[in-house]
Amino acid sequence: MTVGVVVLTQGTRPADLERGIRSVLAQQGVTLDVVCVGNGWQPTGLPVGVQSLGLPTNLGIPAGRNRGVSRVTGEYLFFLDDDASIPDPNFLIDAIGKMRADPTIGLLQPRVEDPAGIESPRRWIPRIRKGEASTPGPVFSVWEGAVLLPRSVFDATGGWAEPFFYAHEGIELAWRVWDQDRVVWYAGDLVANHPVILPTRHADYYRLNARNRVWLARRNLPMLLVPLYVGAWTAIQVLRWGLSNRPALHAWFDGWREGWRHDPGPRHPLRARTVWRMTRAGRPPII
């Protein structure tokens, strides 16, 4: 089993980066081709056998991952952020085993746990009805810090959404996997480690969150569903922050307007068959 591994980093967390790479190199039963992509810097001091790809500027998370894909080979692709790690050396072989046992699985995300034992936020479970974190099942978005998929499936999706820069690229990738008559699978019985960190630490969190919601719809949904999806999320944010967090809501609407004014890139609308499959599975793409 051959796996191309793309580890993405800005070089600001050297200890975490080393931990993540070591956890990949410890994987058993697979042949690895690993590249460490430095978004805006040149990674150095890497373990033997790990390639270094330095990008002269920070191209954003999706573009950085895509650049790494071109440097590795393998039947499968595994993406790992620099602050994530894999505690079980059998993780990759177990995850690939699930995919080979059920060829309809086109992408797999493990359960995410804080390595220090801090209670994991519910947002790491990528479904509306959260339930138990250990319960597996089909999902329609992914936490992007540790995901595995066949390379053929990734290539057919067109890759990560580079214009997004940060936020919601995991939703688009999941939708496009579903559009290949595949299923995105949340493997609650497999574990990745990641510290509990607030996503609002990013200065542009609210703006990019809103802009990319609009772009997600404009790039991927049939025209009839675009206003329904954006309208639903607009209502959710107004209800969520309307009184309690006015500055966040103002920043969110700045991004919302930007999403309509600027070009999100090429459209690849989901097929009617895909919309129906997603609806039958519990998540019509208007929520």
- The pLDDT tens digits for 183-241 are 999 999 999 999 988 765 555 889 999 999 999 999 999 999 999 999 999 999 999 88
Q: How far is CA 39 from the centre of its chain?
A: 17
Instruction: Provide mean pLDDT across the span 263-269.
Output: 96
pLDDT of the residue at 120: 86
Kindly tell me if the per-residue pLDDT of 4 is higher than 60: yes
How far apart, in whole angstroms, are the C-alpha atoms of residue 201 and residue 24?
27
pLDDT of the residue at 110: 98
The pLDDT tens digits for 105-134 are 999 999 999 998 898 888 889 988 889 999
Kindly tell me if the per-residue pLDDT of 95 is higher than 90: yes
The pLDDT tens digits for 144-184 are 999 999 999 999 999 999 999 999 999 999 999 999 999 99
pLDDT of the residue at 200: 58
How far apart, in whole angstroms, are the C-alpha atoms of residue 45 and residue 50?
10
pTM: predicted TM-score of the whole model, two decimal places? 0.95
The pLDDT tens digits for 21-62 are 999 999 999 999 999 999 999 999 999 999 999 999 999 999
Least confident of 76-85, 156-165, 169-178, 246-255: 246-255
DSSP for residue 124: G
Long-range contacts from 255-259, C-beta under 8 angstroms, 24+ separation? 255/206, 255/207, 255/208, 255/209, 255/210, 255/211, 255/212, 255/214, 256/210, 256/211, 256/213, 256/214, 256/230, 258/207, 258/210, 258/211, 258/214, 259/210, 259/211, 259/212, 259/213, 259/214, 259/215, 259/218
**What backbone torsions phi and psi does residue 43 show, to the nearest 5 degrees?**
-60, 135
- Across the chain, mean pLDDT equals 95
pLDDT of the residue at 121: 87
